[in-house]
C-alpha cells in the first residue's frame, strides 16, 4: 500500500459481497478498508451497518455521560455508568453530541439532526438533511452548526431547528466544525480547510495535498493545528490561514492536541509524535504496537490514546515513557478526557470509564447489542495489491518490502505479526495457519 496516494498498485477489480466486522479491524484490514474510501465517492461512514459498536466520543456534563452507538441508540448515563434514558433513531450514530443548558444535539445516519431534552431524552425537534450526519455538531450563540454527507455545513436555530444558512462544498462530507474568535472553521474531503464568518461567508481557505483527518483543528495561542492524509501536521495562522510550519511524518497524521506548548499527534506509522508548538521541531516519538485512535487526550500529565490492536495506553506527556495499558476486545477509535477520567467508546460494544492516572477501569457500559457493526468495502473499482513497509528487527536492513494480493472472495493473505515472523491470515475469516 502506498501511504502517499492511498492507492493500490496493480490490477483493478470490483470489490463486493464480503464485509468486515469491527472486531476484525486489525493491521491491514483496518488501513486497507479505510484507504479504499480515500479515493471513493462515498465515505466509509455510509457503509457502517447496525451493531453494538461505539465509534463516537462521549460527551460529559453535570447532567450525565452522553454517547451514541451503532445500535441506533443515543444514551444518557449517570456518572456511575447506569442508564438514565435512551432515544432510538433510524440509523447508526457515529459521532459525539453537544449540549446546551436544556437540550442535547447530535446527528444520525438516518439523515437527521436531533435536539432532545437533556433531562428526559424527549425529542424537541429534528432537521432533515439530504445525506447521513456522521459528525459532531457545535452549539454557539443560539445556533447549531453541523455537517452532512450532502456536502453542506448547516447553521440551524438551536431552539427550533429552522435552517438559517448552508455552506456548500464540491466534494465529500463536512467534518466537525470549530468556532474561534467568531469564525467557524471546518474541512471537507476536497483537501481544503475553510474559515468562514458565523453568517457563512468565506474568509480564507487552506489547501492540502490530502484529506484532513478526523475532525476540527486544535486551536492554541492564535494558531490552528491539523493532521492530514498527506502525512503532515500543519500549523496555521488562525487570522490569515497562512502556514507557519509543517512536520512531515511517514504516514497519515491524526488530529493534534496542544498541551504545555507541545503538540501531540498520532500517526499511522504507529507512532505518537510530540512536537514543539512554536517551531514544529520533534521533541520525542513513541512507537506503538498498532495504528492509533483519531486523537490523543491529555489528562493527569499523561498522553492517552487507543490502538487498533485493542489497547488503551497512557504515556508520560513529558518523556513519552509508557505508564499503563488497558486491554479491550475491540479498537478504541475515539477517547474523551475530563476531570482525570477517560471515556473510551469501543468497537467491542462497550463504553469504558478509566482512571487517567492509573489506568484502572471504573466501570463498563454495554450497548443494546453484543455483535460488532459490519463495514462494507466501497463498490467503486479499486486495485487489489497493497505494498507495506515492514521493519525487520533481526537483520541489518532497516526496511523490507513485500507485495500482497487480496482476493474479493476472501482468500488468505500474508501479514506480519511482529519482527520478522509471518503468519497466514484469512482476510475475512480471521483464521491463522
CA pair distance 183, 202, nearest whole angstrom: 10
Phi, psi of 232 (to 5 degrees): -105, 150
The three cell numbers locating residue 346: 469501543
Q: Which of 236, 271, 224 is nearest to 250 (CA)?
A: 271
The percentage of residues in the chain with a pLDDT greater than 90, rounded to a whole number, is 68
Q: Residue 189 — pLDDT band, cuts 50, 70, 90?
A: confident
Q: How far apart are CA 380 and CA 427, in angstroms?
A: 20
CB-CB contact of 72 with 30 (8 Å) = no
Q: Which domains does the chain have, with CATH numbers?
A: 12-45+375-426 (no CATH), 46-219+286-374 (2.130.10.10)
pLDDT attached to residue 6: 41
Please check the confidence at residue 169 and state whether its pLDDT lies above 70: yes
At 265-284, the pLDDT tens digits run 999 999 999 999 999 999 99
Residue 183: the pLDDT is 97
The per-residue pLDDT for 44 is 58
Residue-wise pLDDT tens digits, 279-290: 999 999 999 999
Helix (H) or strand (E) holding 30: helix 27-38
Average pLDDT for 154-173: 94
Q: Mean pLDDT across the chain, nearest whole number? A: 82
- DSSP helix/strand/coil, 271: strand
- CA 259 from centre of chain: 20
Burial 171-199 (b: 16+ CB within 10 A, else e): ebbbbbbbbeeebbbbbbbbbbbbbbebe
Report which secondary-structure segment, H or E, holds 173: none
Bigger pLDDT: 120 vs 404: 120
Residue 383 dihedral angles phi and psi, to the nearest 5° = -85, 165
Amino acid at each position: 500500500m502506498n501511504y502517499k496516494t492511498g492507492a493500490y498498485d496493480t490490477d483493478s477489480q470490483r470489490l463486493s459481497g464480503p464485509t468486515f466486522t469491527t472486531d476484525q479491524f486489525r493491521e491491514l484490514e483496518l488501513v486497507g478498508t479505510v484507504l479504499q474510501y480515500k479515493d471513493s465517492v462515498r465515505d466509509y461512514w455510509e457503509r457502517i451497518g447496525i451493531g453494538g459498536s461505539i465509534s463516537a466520543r462521549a460527551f460529559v456534563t453535570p447532567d450525565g455521560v452522553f454517547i451514541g452507538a451503532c445500535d441506533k441508540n443515543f444514551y444518557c448515563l449517570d456518572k456511575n455508568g447506569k442508564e438514565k434514558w435512551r432515544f432510538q433513531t433510524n440509523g447508526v450514530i457515529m459521532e459525539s453530541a453537544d449540549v446546551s443548558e436544556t437540550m442535547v444535539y447530535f446527528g444520525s445516519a438516518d439523515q437527521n439532526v436531533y435536539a432532545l431534552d437533556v433531562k428526559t431524552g424527549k425529542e424537541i425537534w429534528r432537521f432533515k438533511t439530504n445525506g447521513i450526519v456522521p459528525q459532531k455538531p457545535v452549539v454557539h450563540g443560539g445556533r447549531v452548526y453541523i455537517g452532512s454527507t450532502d456536502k453542506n455545513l448547516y447553521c440551524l436555530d438551536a431552539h427550533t431547528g429552522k435552517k438559517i444558512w448552508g455552506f456548500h462544498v464540491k466534494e465529500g462530507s463536512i467534518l466537525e466544525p470549530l468556532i474561534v474568535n467568531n469564525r467557524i472553521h471546518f474541512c471537507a474531503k476536497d483537501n481544503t480547510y475553510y474559515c468562514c464568518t458565523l453568517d457563512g461567508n468565506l474568509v480564507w481557505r487552506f489547501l492540502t495535498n490530502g484529506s484532513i483527518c478526523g475532525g476540527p483543528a486544535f486551536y492554541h495561542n492564535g494558531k490552528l493545528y491539523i493532521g492530514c492524509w498527506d502525512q503532515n501536521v500543519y500549523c496555521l495562522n488562525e487570522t490569515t490561514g497562512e502556514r507557519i510550519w509543517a512536520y512531515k511524518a511517514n504516514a497519515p497524521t491524526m488530529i493534534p492536541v496542544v498541551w504545555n506548548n507541545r503538540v501531540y499527534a498520532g500517526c499511522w506509522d504507529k507512532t505518537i509524535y510530540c512536537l514543539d508548538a512554536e517551531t514544529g521541531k520533534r521533541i520525542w516519538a513513541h512507537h506503538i504496537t498498532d495504528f492509533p485512535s483519531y486523537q490523543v487526550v491529555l489528562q493527569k500529565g499523561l498522553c492517552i490514546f487507543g490502538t487498533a490492536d485493542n489497547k488503551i495506553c497512557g504515556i508520560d506527556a513529558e518523556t513519552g515513557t509508557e505508564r499503563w495499558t488497558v486491554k479491550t476486545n475491540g479498537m478504541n477509535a475515539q477517547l474523551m478526557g475530563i476531570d482525570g477520567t477517560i471515556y473510551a467508546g469501543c468497537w467491542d460494544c462497550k463504553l469504558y470509564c478509566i482512571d487517567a492516572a492509573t489506568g484502572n477501569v471504573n466501570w463498563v457500559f454495554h450497548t443494546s447489542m453484543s455483535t460488532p457493526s459490519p463495514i462494507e468495502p466501497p463498490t467503486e473499482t479499486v486495485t487489489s495489491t497493497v505494498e507495506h513497509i515492514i521493519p525487520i528487527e533481526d537483520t541489518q536492513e532497516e526496511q523490507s518490502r513485500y507485495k500482497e494480493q487480496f482476493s474479493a472472495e476472501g482468500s488468505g493473505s500474508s501479514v506480519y505479526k511482529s519482527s520478522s515472523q509471518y503468519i497466514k491470515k484469512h482476510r475475512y475469516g480471521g483464521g491463522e495457519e
